[in-house]
Amino acid sequence: MKRNRIVIAGLGDSGVLTAIRLARHAEVVGISAKPALVSGQELGWRLSRPHEWARANWIPFDRFRGLDKVRTVHGSLTGLDLAARTVDVRHDDGSTSVEGYDALVISTGVANGFWRQPNFQSADDISADLRAAHDRLANASSVIVVGGGAAAVSSAANLARTWPQKRVDLYFPGERALLQHHPRAWERVEQRLAEVGVVLHAGHRAVIPDGFACDQITAEPVQWSTGQPPTKADAVLWAIGKVRPNTAWLPADLLDEHGFVRVTPELQVPGHRGVFAVGDVAATDPLRTSARNRADGLLAHNVLAEFEGRPLRSYRPPKGRWGSVLGPQRDGLEVFAPNGRAFRFPAWSFDRVLMPLIVRWGIYRGVRENRPLSEV
């Protein structure tokens, strides 16, 4: 009996988790511009301690036991033919291929700064990117971090903790940072920032130069539209949440006015049976929360339910952000609940319990031990 064929377009966190769930029930093909899961999370950890970050967040696909039955294709998506039910893929050598599907899951994510880009990369390319950003900041005696979200706050905290002799200033436009988190979370994080010496500057909104995508570390003075004089540092890290959906390969009628994939509450693309979207690329709600709230389980259920003619379930987005903000620290990992209260994993438990048992077995259903990667 022929098995249904599911194409997962994009193998970031959401795509990998969805593929793992579906691989037991169908023929699954995953398409990725990277040869591994390269997480876009924990920017501060990535910049300050890239080797440690890579052990937890850069995982070759062949290490996932749940992907053993998934055929992964290393290439860039270039087109979708909805009538023929095929996607077009361009490979590194310039050749192209076509992948047919019975169901398509769009999980190509977003571009955001230099750390989340959709371009085709090899393992050596990824390693070079990690080293370049780390070395650029390591060699700076002063750093400005621009932005008020978790990426900016985490970067400022981790840079200051890793290099205590370095001056680190965090500039954000509101009265406080972390506006998408509960105020109680900011109170705790503000205290942690003060402990490591980060200098806070509220009420500063940066002028973004025309055509600047905030995808590089700069050295020019930062101009402020809120009236303050320009500010200069050896390195300026832009983490302002200027995300761009990776949807150039998709027909325009699938997208909303901002370029994200329109979806129903069931994560289905309206008017196109068998086409779904999940993660940062899916316009589920203003925060696009299906990327961080384990919607992969609901999506996998809905894909299989559509094949079998069963009812589909609806995704209900949370009202705010939750989870880790600063990432692993010497004294442990703090995770914030939706009500802003923090609970801590002790430092010893991160490598002994949290990563091996909860993340690698509980979430990813088994990850093999590290195999040699390019040096970071």
Within the chain, residue ranges assigned H as helices are 13-22, 43-48, 50-57, 123-138, 150-162, 183-196, 295-308, 347-349
C-alpha span between 118 and 84 (Å, rounded): 25
Report residue 266's pLDDT band, with 50, 70 and 90 as the boundaries. very high
CA atoms within 13 A on the CB side of 176: 15
Indicate whether 112 and 248 sit together in one domain: yes
> Domain residues for 105?
5-120+243-320+352-358
pLDDT of 18 over the 90 cut = yes
Q: Residue 114 has what pLDDT? A: 92
pTM, to two decimals = 0.94
pLDDT tens by residue, 298-340: 999 999 999 999 999 999 998 888 899 999 999 999 999 989 9
Amino acid found at 342: A
Residues in CB range of 354: below 8 A, 6 or more apart: 333, 345
Share of the chain above pLDDT 90, in %: 90
Indicate whether 167 and 92 sit together in one domain: no
Phi, psi of 322, rounded to the nearest 5 degrees: -150, 175
pLDDT tens by residue, 204-219: 999 998 888 888 999 9
Partner residues linked to 7 by β-bridges? 29, 104
Q: Residue 371 has what pLDDT? A: 53
Average pLDDT over residues 357-374: 81
**What DSSP line would sit under 280-331, residue for residue?**
TTB-SSTT-GGGTTTHHHHHHHHHHHHHHTPPPPPP---SS--EESS--BTT
CATH code at position 194? 3.50.50.60
C-alpha span between 277 and 48 (Å, rounded): 33
Q: Residue 236 has what pLDDT? A: 98
Report residue 374's pLDDT band, with 50, 70 and 90 as the boundaries. very low
Tokens read off for 343: 């609970």
Closest CA to 196 of 155, 135, 231, 232: 155
Please name the helix (run of DSSP H) or strand (run of DSSP E) that holds residue 344, with its range, or none. Answer: strand 342-345
Q: How far is CA 310 from CA 23, 27, 231, 300, 301, in A?
A: 19, 20, 59, 13, 10
Asked whether residue 55 is assigned to any structural domain, the reply reads yes
Residues in CB range of 93: below 8 A, 6 or more apart: none
Average pLDDT over residues 348-376: 83
pLDDT of 267 over the 90 cut = yes
pLDDT tens by residue, 53-84: 999 999 999 999 999 999 999 999 999 999 99
Indicate whether 164 and 26 sit together in one domain: no
Indicate whether 261 and 229 sit together in one domain: no
Q: Residue 376 has what pLDDT? A: 56
Indicate whether 208 and 264 sit together in one domain: no
C-alpha span between 237 and 14 (Å, rounded): 26
Indicate the number of domains in the chain: 2
pLDDT of 103 over the 90 cut = yes
Tokens read off for 162: 């890793």
Q: Residue 373 has what pLDDT? A: 47
Asked whether residue 167 is assigned to any structural domain, the reply reads yes
Average pLDDT over residues 283-291: 92
Among 210, 240, 270, residue at a domain's last position: 240
Q: Residue 92 has what pLDDT? A: 93
pLDDT of 370 over the 80 cut = no
Indicate whether 68 and 175 sit together in one domain: no
Give the chain's radius of gyration (CA, Å).
21
Nearest-5° Cα angle at 240, 238 to 241: 125
pLDDT tens by residue, 106-127: 999 999 999 999 999 999 999 9
Asked whether residue 33 is assigned to any structural domain, the reply reads yes
pLDDT tens by residue, 22-47: 999 999 999 999 999 999 999 999 99
Indicate whether 134 and 236 sit together in one domain: yes
Indicate whether 272 and 193 sit together in one domain: no
Residue with structure tokens 């500057």?
201
Average pLDDT over residues 254-272: 98
Indicate whether 200 and 234 sit together in one domain: yes
Indicate whether 116 and 130 sit together in one domain: no
First-last CA distance in the chain: 46
Mean of per-residue pLDDT scores for the chain? 95
pLDDT of 1 over the 70 cut = no
Indicate whether 187 and 255 sit together in one domain: no
Indicate whether 134 and 206 sit together in one domain: yes
Question: How many CB atoms sit inside 10 A of residue 191's CB?
Answer: 9
CB of 68 closer than 8 Å to CB of 350? no
